[in-house]
Amino acid sequence: MNLELKAKITKREQDQAAKMVSALGLDLGAKRIGVAGCDRTGLIATGLTTLHRTSFDSILVPLRQLINERSVDILVVGLPYTMDGQIGTQAKKIQKLARRLSVTLDLPVEFVDERLTSFAAEQLLQAADPAAISKSDRHRRRHQPNNKSGIIDRKAAAIILQQWLDDRPTLAASNPLC
């Protein structure tokens, strides 16, 4: 193989490696944290689990386990801007927790606008199974969380992560041979 062709192939492999990522998407809440992941190609986000948060320390062990198993490079956290695009009280709490996780887990963090992701997650779940989430379930979710709340949190995390992935350049766009 000639040197010039080998250099082009090596450059393409380096470009592809630079675009590959393993990320965890987090929908941070006071009681639950929805967690989503993606494969190294960074194409599709999938809901993984919902962590029940009783303290900061209570979420570290399962997050570290996921980070190690999936070789995570970055945390992607949904930030609940107000409807007029401002960072309100809730968003400031999320930023503080996300930065604390970033430092403790030694991973960078990026934020994604998560306005209405929980609502979108409910709508997607209801479209898939209309009996899954009824109006009474949505009312009960606010007052007595159940297993469906965990599913919604996990789906919201997947929406957050997918939004972040979609905003990144794709391998196919940078590689005309794909």
Cβ atoms within 10 A of the Cβ of 104, count? 13
Interior/surface letters 42-75, b for 16+ CB within 10 angstroms, e for the rest: beebebbbbbebeeeeebeeebeebbeebebeeb
Give the lowest-confidence range in 7-16, 17-26, 72-81, 112-121. 7-16
| Most confident of the following: 13-17, 82-86, 127-131 | 82-86
Show Cβ contacts of residue 123 under 8 Å, excluding neighbours closer than 6 positions: none
Domains of the chain, first to last: 19-174 (3.30.420.140)
Question: What pLDDT is recorded for position 150?
Answer: 78
CA nearest 60: which of 103, 110, 116, 30?
103
Q: Using CB atoms within 10 A of its CB, is residue 141 exposed (0-12), middle (13-18) or buried (19+)?
A: middle
Distance from C-alpha of 53 to C-alpha of 87, rounded to nearest angstrom: 23
Distance from C-alpha of 178 to C-alpha of 176, rounded to nearest angstrom: 6
Segment 44-95, tens digit of pLDDT? 999 999 999 999 999 999 999 999 999 999 999 999 988 888 899 999 999 9
Percentage above 90 pLDDT, the chain: 49
Give the helix ranges, DSSP H, for 20-73.
Answer: 56-70
Position 158 pLDDT exceeds 60: yes
Contact 75, 28 (CB under 8 A): no
